Chain A
Amino acid sequence: MTPAEIRQTILDILADIAPDEDLSTLDPDRPFRDQLDMDSMDFLDIVMELRKRYRVHIPEEDYPALASMTSTVEYLTPRMKDIPCK
């Protein structure tokens, strides 16, 4: 997956777990938490969905890397580069 494809993957997951939010105005550099009504259970949903959909396992100590879109894509790019886009 390319960084652009990973970004779209995260947007798809966010659309599922935060269905009331307008994601079109998401600022990639600001924390999700500052822009979206999200709590710790929602972040665990992101982790779970990546595990379910792509078998990507994110250790707990790396959770801070999922703070914003930019940091998430950066973190996931080396881990998902060999995964084909669905």
Chain B
Amino acid sequence: MIAPRAEAHRVVITGVGLTAPNGNTLAEFRHSLLSGQSGVTRFETRYFGATVAGVCHFDELRYQSRKDLRRGTRAGSIAIYCAHEALRDAGLDLNRLDRSTIGIYVGVTEHGNVETENELYQLQQYGYDLQFWSHHHNPRTVANNPAGEISLNLGITGPHYTLGAACAAGNAGIIQGVQMLRLGECDIALCGGVSESIHTFGIFASFRSQGALAHHEDPTKASRPFDAQRNGIVVAEGGCLFVLERYADAAARGARIYGEIVGYAMNSDAFDPVLPHADRQAQCIEMALHRAGLSPDDVDIVSTHATGTQSGDVQECAALRRVFGSSRRTRFNNTKSFIGHAMGAAGALELAGNLPAFQDRVCHPTINLDYPDPECSLPGLVAQQPQELPKVDVVLNNSFGMLGINSVVIVRRV
């Protein structure tokens, strides 16, 4: 299926709200990406002990009361912060909008693990007597929680839900927003992804048991996609929500436009629960390019998904070489090398970090690439230092996840 090209179906990004381990606005985030500043730090979590993680430091009380924080979830707080910041960035005043026309579509890798672990930990102190199990457990753990907390906080009465899409969730949220705008289900889409995953010990323990959890004496060196000394994933928290509008609406109100979402695709490996599959990843990228009416050589920057695992990085590079092998123009970078893997937020954050390149024409690098792995060879890989490009018109954003879920979003400068 080729995406409709009618004017009414053009969808653009007009606002960005984010919190990343190395920045709480797009400007801060971009500055960190261009100046090589990692957001990965030492981190300690229940039962697991010392590890490293990407930790966010946004002002939780900017848009929530202390009672809101006590009752809600970390994912909800991240989502609320990002939603407010995105609307503000888009120059939209909720008091002048029909709140029933706003849709909220939030990608999550998982939700409820943090809250369930916390509740079980509390319950243990009461001898596992279930009369001490909190009445807050259900509203905190329903799968729509992060999106629902946005709705409650901002009084938005349009549809809200989350999309469970493993680590492809950030892109999945964006794609859902585009689709709902095209269907006329909403006039403004708040969409992207969030993650609170560093607050569950289970994710660290599971990655470690899988041999896929990164470790390094220097936390800022732990996330090293494509490097021969990579040893796994750095788990991060974070969030990024975009304001999407139909181009005609954005143009009519004179909105600043970050870029147009001209292509997207999602598919499935149907291959293995955890191992990636280059063939299906390449197909997903090609499908997105086809829908966008672009060739590989039209793409200036590919924002790679690579997480720092042995097989994941190799498989993605194989897919990229297959699709972009003949393109001399395309550059590749990796944002996880700065912030770790922000799970449900990763796809959205990594796309956001590249959007300013439409203006400054700089491709931020992949850091910690001290010993390039020959199996991860990519001719256009931007390593260690930012690279200025003659022009940046098209950014392609990869996000892949467990159970074989692949997603690609393509954004073009307007």
Name A residues whose Cβ lies closer than 8 Å to a Cβ of B: 16-20, 37, 41, 44-45, 48, 51-52, 57
Contacts and interface: CB of A to CB of B under 8 A. Distances in A.
Residue of B67, B131, B135 with highest tally of chain A CB at under 10 A? B67
A63 B70 CA distance: 23
A48 B132 contact: yes
Residue of A16, A37, A41 with highest tally of chain B CB at under 10 A? A41
Given A18-B67, A20-B65, A52 B135 contact: no
Contacts of A37: 67
Contact of A19 (B70, B126, B134, B139): B70
A18 B132 CA distance: 20
A48 B67 contact: no
Contacts, number: 26
B57 interface: no
Nearest to B129: A51
B253 interface: no
B208 interface: no
Given A41-B71, A52-B126, A19 B132 contact: no
A19 B66 contact: yes
B328 interface: no
Contacts of B71: 41
Nearest to A37: B67
Interface residues of B, number: 12
B67 A20 contact: yes
A47 B396 CA distance: 53
B322 interface: no
B46 interface: no
B70 A51 contact: no
Contact of A52 (B66, B67, B70, B132): B132
Contacts of B139: 41
Contacts of B42: none
B216 interface: no
B134 A48 contact: yes
A17 B126 CA distance: 20
A43 to B, nearest CB: 10
B135 A44 contact: yes
A75 to B, nearest CB: 20
B136 interface: yes
B136 A51 contact: no
Nearest to B65: A20
Given A41-B71, A52-B126, A20 B66 contact: yes
A5 B71 CA distance: 27
Contacts of A19: 65-67, 70
Nearest to B66: A19
Nearest to B131: A51
Given A19-B67, A48-B132, A48-B135, 16 more contacts: A16-B70, A17-B67, A17-B70, A18-B67, A19-B65, A19-B66, A20-B65, A37-B67, A41-B71, A41-B135, A41-B136, A41-B139, A48-B134, A51-B131, A52-B132, A57-B131
Interface string B126-162: 1000011011100100000000000000000000000
Contacts of B66: 19-20
A67 B131 CA distance: 22
Interface string B58-78: 000000011100110000000
Nearest to A40: B135
Contacts of B132: 48, 51-52
A6 to B, nearest CB: 21
Contacts of A44: 135
Contacts of A16: 70
A79 B96 CA distance: 53
